[in-house]
Structure formats: structure tokens, C-alpha cells
A = this chain, B = another copy of it.
Amino acid sequence: MNAEFINPFIAAFKNVLETMAMMTLTAEAPKKKEDDLACGDVTGLLGMTGPQLKGSFSITFEAPLALDIMSKMLGEKPTTINAEVIDLVGELTNMVAGGAKNTLGESGFDFGMATPVVVSGKNHTISHRVDGPKLILPFKGEAGRAFIEICFEKA
């Protein structure tokens, strides 16, 4: 799992939040232990397939951060993770994956993106089942944390 794969996802995530929510998150130290799991209240997930690799990508948000993003992007701030927030997280997942796909395509890594799935539920955990390295990238904003996870294995 090299930086060439991961950085486009980080860059796309930060770019989407900065341009659409005027929000800057701070990247924290990556978690690499086998038993580390991303944990939060709403998650966007997306599968990817390509000629050499297949894998999965997820962004997990703590509820206060997801609600803050929604407020800054759309001017509405629900009190809980509702259908509109789920919608938004699905869109964000698509945008981040799409941005990363474009960048990776320029380096010769072509992927097909599946469609996003959004999970909602207080304190759920996400476990990517791959034969390969896994990396959890935590981000911190004023309102809470988000976790990006990108995992690949040979197709």
C-alpha cells in the first residue's frame, strides 16, 4: 500500500471539504494495526475493481462532524443522521472516489468504481476484508473526527 495509491484519496477528500464546506481537517497519524477498526456514526463505502487490483474505500464520520459538514455545505443542520445526511455522505463518497480515480488514472492505475453504500448507526465499526495492507487515516475537524480507509489486493 504505497503513498501513490493513498495520496489521491486524501487529496480528494480534503479538496471536496475545502471547496464545498469551506472546512479544513487536520490529518492525524495513520493506524496500521490489524485490529484497528474505523468507528463512527455514518460511513460511505465504495468498491473498486481494476485489471490488476481490486479493493474498497470508506469514509467514516462521527455524527457531529457529519452534521457540521451538512450545515456548512447545505445550510441545514439536522439534529441526527437522517435521510438527507445519508444522501450527502453518499455524494461525498462518490466525489472523493471520483477525484482519486482521475488522479490515479493519470498515473496509469485504472479502476472501475462501484456505487456507494451508506451505513448509519451509532458507533458502528468498519472492517475491510482484504489480503493486503490496510491503513486507517484519521482526520480531525472542530466538530469531530473522520476516518478514511483504503484497501487493495491483487485482482
A residues sitting closer than 8 Å to B (CB atoms) are 35, 43, 45-50, 54-56, 58, 83, 86-87, 90-91, 93-94, 112-130, 151, 153, 155
User: Is there contact, CB below 8 Å, between A115 and B127?
Assistant: no
Q: Could you tell me the distance between the alpha carbons of A83 and B35 in the complex, rounded to whole angstroms?
A: 9
B153 touches A115 (CB 8 A): yes
A sample of 19 inter-chain contacts (CB < 8 A) reads: A35-B83, A45-B47, A46-B47, A47-B47, A47-B115, A50-B112, A54-B114, A55-B114, A56-B114, A87-B129, A112-B155, A115-B129, A115-B130, A115-B151, A117-B126, A117-B127, A118-B129, A120-B127, A121-B122
**Dominant SS at the A interface?**
strand
Q: Output the least CB separation between A80 and chain B (Å).
A: 12
- Chain B residues in 8 Å Cβ range of A127: 86, 90, 117-120
Contacts of A153 in B (CB 8 A): 115
Contact B117 A45 (CB under 8 A): yes
